[in-house]
Structure formats: C-alpha cells, structure tokens
Structure 1
Amino acid sequence: MKGSYFLVIRLEEEKRIRTKGKSFELKPGYYVYVGSAMNSLEKRVARHFRREKKLHWHIDYLLKEAELLRAYLIPSEVKLEEELSREVSKFGEPVPGFGAGDVKVSTNLYRFEDEPDEVLRGILDKLGLGWKIVKSEDDIGKIRW
C-alpha cells in the first residue's frame, strides 16, 4: 500500500540530535514527523517502531532518543507529504532542515507543547483523508482497511 504518515513522538528532555551531517537542538515536548512511503506504507511505519535498525534518515536519529507514541497511516496513491507538512506547519513549531531533503518544504518535523492528535485529526478530516492509528509494530499487521 502507498501513502503518507504522521509519527507522534514525545521527547522528555532537551536533546541535541546528531545525524550524519547535521545537528538539531530539540526542546522537550511532542513532535510530529510527516513522511511518505510510496512503496510500502506498512513496512516503512513498522521500521520506525523498531528500536534496532541501521540509522539512515534524520527521523531514525530522533527515534533513538525519543519515544514513538503512535503513527497515523494515511493510504493514498498520490504523494501527500508536502501538503500534509504545510498543514501541520500551521499549528506546530517547525524544526528547520529536518527530514525534508526530497520535498519542497523546509522541514517535516514540528514541535507541539501538548498532544497534537486533535490537530492531526482536524487536518485529515479537512482534507477528507482516511487513516488508521497504530501504537506498535504489532498493530500494523492487524490493520483492516
């Protein structure tokens, strides 16, 4: 299945996240990462839940230091990553340069002081998109579309 996703992440304390080429100073709070998987949505999101993996994308380095609370899987034949990122940017504080190397937005990571689920559901409803929430890698295998 193709599609996009939101990752809802909690960072308990201030951290410097170092990737291969960049460093990001992140404050405690909730973060939403916007991604896409135009080959296998379920496999990509399952990978994000795994603790043991090769560090490849910016998000891998953050998830090593933070807690992935849940993911919203948004099936679509069209790549919606940029549109979703622009919508989330209206509500969250952007982290410039994080995880947006292949899209025309400046970031795919946004900080929220409080849990962002109401905002995310509002965005998905506004855009008329279907979605499912998973809270673990095991949940992904139980999804029924």
Structure 2
Amino acid sequence: MSVRRGTYALFVTFGHDEEISVGSLGTHHFRAGTYCYVGSAMGGIDQRVMRHLAHDKKLRWHIDYLTVRCDSSEAWISYPDPISECQLGRIAADCGGVAEMEGFGCSDCGCRSHLYRMDAPQKAAMIQRARLSFFRMPGTAGAT
C-alpha cells in the first residue's frame, strides 16, 4: 500500500476548563469547548492522524499535550489533493475560528497559530469549505 500524503484538521473537545502545560510554550488556560488543530503529514497521513488520536503516547508535538487530556477527538483530512495546513488555518479563521495560543503548531511557518477555538457551526462551515473527509482507520468500512 502506498503512503498517503495530506493535511488534516484535528478537533479536540474539552468538557470543562483545563490548565495545560504545552511544552516550551508554557501553560495555557483552555476553556471548555472545541479546538481545531491544522497540520500536515507528507510522510504519511494515516500514521500521523492515528498517533494524534491515541491517548497513550510520548508527548512530541504541541497538539499531543491536548490530545492526552481532551474528552473527545476526531480528524478530517484533505486528501488526495491536499490544501496546505496554513490555508486550512486561514479557512478556520474565515469561518469564525479564533486563533488560540500563539506559536502553537506553527514553528515552521509564519502563521500566528495552527490552533483555533470554534463552535459547532464554525466547525461545520470549515469542513464544508475545505472539502474535508472524515478520517477512518485504513482498512475499515468507509475508509477515505
């Protein structure tokens, strides 16, 4: 099977407020609600997204500090014709998402953040506008 390359939007939800230390970025207060992290996986989207969705892992990326503490998470992917993670971030902002925690997930570009706080209508608008597909584990029925 060939490696699928693409970009993704990972939505994490907190049922209550959380104070989370995010590595070198320091501690941040995350209000209850949904946050969207945009990322890319040109070395393999399936492996990257499955890692992000796992709770038991070594903390490596900024998003890992949230995924091990969130109440729920889901991923939507831009594949086979991915748009850039920075473009996904612009779409998130255009749909009303608010950039959260400066420097989050964007050390390799000029974006302010790759993490956005958003409500359900904003999330739905982003998914539709970016034409994202719901991520399912490879080999499962309906996998994208």
Shared fold, TM over 0.5:
yes
2:75 to 65, 71, 76: 71
For 1:52, the equivalent position in structure 2 comes to 56
- Match of 1:30? 34
Q: How many residues align?
A: 136
- What is the deviation of 1:78? 5.9
CA shift for structure 1 position 65: 1.1
2:133 aligns with 132
Structure 2, gaps ≥5 residues long: none
Task: Return closer, same or farther for 1:9/1:98 CA change in 2, 3 Å cut-off.
Answer: same
Q: TM-score, normalised by structure 1?
A: 0.83
Pairs within 5 Å for 1:1-145: 1-22=4-25, 23-76=27-80, 80-90=84-94, 91-95=96-100, 96-114=102-120, 116-125=122-131, 131-134=132-135, 139-141=136-138, 142=140, 144-145=143-144
Q: TM-score, normalised by structure 2?
A: 0.84
For residues 64-115 of structure 1, the C-alpha deviation after alignment (integer angstroms, 9 at most, x for no partner) is: 1113431101125666111111111121111122111112211011111336
Instruction: State the alpha-carbon separation in 2 of the partners of residues 92 and 10 from structure 1.
Output: 14
Aligned-partner Cα distance in 1 for 2:58–2:81: 28
More moved, 83-92 vs 30-39 = 83-92
Structure 1 unaligned spans of 5+: 126-130
CA RMSD of aligned residues (A): 1.9
Identity of aligned residues (%): 27
Instruction: Work out whether residues 7 and 78 of structure 2, in 8 Å CA contact, stay in contact via their aligned partners in 1.
Output: yes
